[in-house]
Amino acid sequence: MSVDVKIPSVGESVSSGFITQWHKAEGELVNSGDLLLTLDTDKISTEITAESSGVLEILIQEGQDVMIGAVVGRISHAQEGSKPAPKNIEEQHESAVSNDIIDIEEVKEDPTPVQSEPSEELEQYVEPDKFPTINEPENKQKKRDLRLDRKAPVSPAVKVLAKEKGVDLSLIIGTGKKGAILKKDVIAFIDGGSSLVASAKESTNSLKKISGESLPNLSIKPTKLEKPLPSKIEDNGRITRTPLSPIRRKIANHLVSAQRDSALLTTFNECDMSSVMSLRKGLQDDFVAKFGVKLGFMSIFIKAVVDGLKEVEQINARIDGNDLITNHFYDVGVAVGSERGLVVPVIRDCDKKNFAEIEKDIAKYATLANEGKLGLDDLQGGVFTISNGGIYGSMLSTPIINPPQSAILGMHNIIERPVAIDGEVVIRPMMYLALSYDHRIVDGREAVTFLRRVKDCVENPARLLVGA
C-alpha cells in the first residue's frame, strides 16, 4: 500500500508551482511529518511534509513545474528490515538523528555508558544530553527520543558561541542534518547578517550607519537554498542557462505590466532628517522600556504616509475598469528585497496602530521573510507601498508602482550635505524622497502636495506622536 505525495492548494490565484528542492532522497525511509520538498510559487514558498511513514519514491524531479494537485511522489509503507543497518559509528549517529530514535546496542557494543565529551561530528547534529542512557527507565528514554524531533538541533558549544556573540539562534537557518545549527552557521551569520539581528529582534530593521545615524534596512537575505535551481552550461562554457523561479517570473510580469498599463511619473523632494534623529535619540530609552521595541525610521515614515493619504485622497485610490475606487483604509506595504525576489508584506490598519505596534509588525514580517514563511494574506490588499533603496547606497531612484496601487514612495540614503537655512550654509543629514504615481488618476498638484506633507511630517515628527 502506498500514499501519493500531492501538491496542495496554496491559494485561489495559484495554479502551479516549481519544485525547488527535495529534502529526502529516492528510496529514503521517511516518517510522518518529515519535510519532503520545497515548492515555489509566484507568491510564496511552501514546505510540503510527509503524510505517512514509508519509503519515498520521487516521480517528478527538482527544477520541474507542476500543477496544483499533481502527484510528485509516492510513499510506500516500509517493511521491517527494509533499511540496512549502518556499518560504522558515524552512519549510526546519522541514522539515529534522521529517524529520531537511538538504539544503544547498535551505536556501541560495549554497554558501558559513554562519559567522554561527544565527538564534533555528533555535536553538530544533536545535543549530547538528548541521548538516552541504558540505565534510564523506558518512559524517560521515550521522552528524550521525542525531544530529538525538532527543527533546529543545537549543540552546547553552539549555544555558548551564540550567547557570547549575542546572536538569537531562532533567526538562523541551520545547514546540518535536520536543520541543525552548526558553528559555521553562527559565524557566517555574525559575519554577514549581524544587522538582521537588530532588524528582527529590535523591530528597527537592520541599520546601516551613515553620518552618525542609521537607515532602516528592509533587505532580508535568508540563507540560500541548499541546492540551486538546475542550470545548463551552453556555448562551450561561455554561458549558463538557469530557469527563472516562479516568484521572479511574477515580478517580471508585474513590473512590465505596471509600466505598460500605467502613466508613470515621478516627483522628488528632499528631507532634513535632523529632527527625527534627535527625537529618536531622546525618546529611545523610554520607548524601549515601555514597549520592548526600538523606535525606528520606518514607523515614522509609515505614519507620515498615512497622514498624506488622509489629506490627498487621490493617492489612496485605484482604477477598476472604467471606475475609480477610493479606499478608506490604510494598509501600507513595505518592499522587502530577499534572495528569492521582491516581496511586499502589508502592515494593516496603520492609522489605528501606534508606533510600537507598527514596529512589532515590521519585526514579525522581517522574521517571516527571513524564514521564507510569508503567507498570501501577508502580501495582499495594500493601498500604498514604501521602498527603501537607501540600504543599497542609492542616492536617487524612480520606483515603480505596485498595481493596482496608484503611488509608491522611494526612500534613499542619508548623506550629510550643505544646505542653506535662514541665509546660512549648514551641514545637515539629508534624504532624497521620490514619489512615483499613476498620472491617469493623480495630477501633479496632488502628487507634490502629498510628498510635501510626508516631508513636513518627517521633519516635524513630534506632531505625529501627539496625533497633530
Amino acid at 105: E
Q: Nearest CA to 372 among 21, 12, 13, 16?
A: 21
Catalytic residue selected from 145, 149, 254, 439: 439
Q: Rounded CA gap, 184 and 112, in Å?
A: 33
Joined grid coordinates for residue 5:
505525495
Instruction: Name residue, grid cell 541599520.
Output: 207
Distances (CA, A) of 49 to 6, 75, 275, 353: 10, 11, 51, 37
Q: CA dist 424 to 421, 427, 428, 456, Å?
A: 5, 10, 12, 21
CA dihedral (202, 207, 215, 221) in degrees, to 10, reads -100
HSE (side-chain half, CA atoms, 13 Å) at 167: 25
Task: Give me the catalytic one of 4, 65, 285, 443.
Answer: 443
**DSSP H/E element including 356:** helix 355-371
User: In sequence order, which residues have a C-beta less than 8 Å from that of residue 182 and are 6 or more positions away?
Assistant: 124, 158, 174, 175, 176
Q: What is the 3-state secondary structure (H, E, C) of 189-206?
A: HHHHHHHHHHHHHHCCCE
* CA torsion through residues 378, 379, 385, 389, sign: positive
Burial track 186-214 (b if 16+ CB lie within 10 A, e otherwise) = beebbeebebbbbbbbbbbbbbbebbebb
Q: Which helix (H) or strand (E) holds 355?
A: helix 355-371
Q: Which grid coordinates belong to 337?
A: 528585497
Active site residue 65: no
**Alpha-carbon gap, residue 71 to 42, rounded angstroms:** 20
DSSP letters, 389-415, are: GGGGT-S---PPP-TT-SEEEEEEEEE
Q: Is 439 a catalytic residue?
A: yes
* Peptide linkage before 118 cis (omega within 30 of 0): no
Q: What amino acid occupies position 179?
A: G
Longest alpha-carbon distance in the chain? 88
CA pair distance 344, 321, nearest whole angstrom: 24
Helix axes 274-291, 444-459, angle to 10 degrees: 60
- Hey, which residues are catalytic here? 439, 443
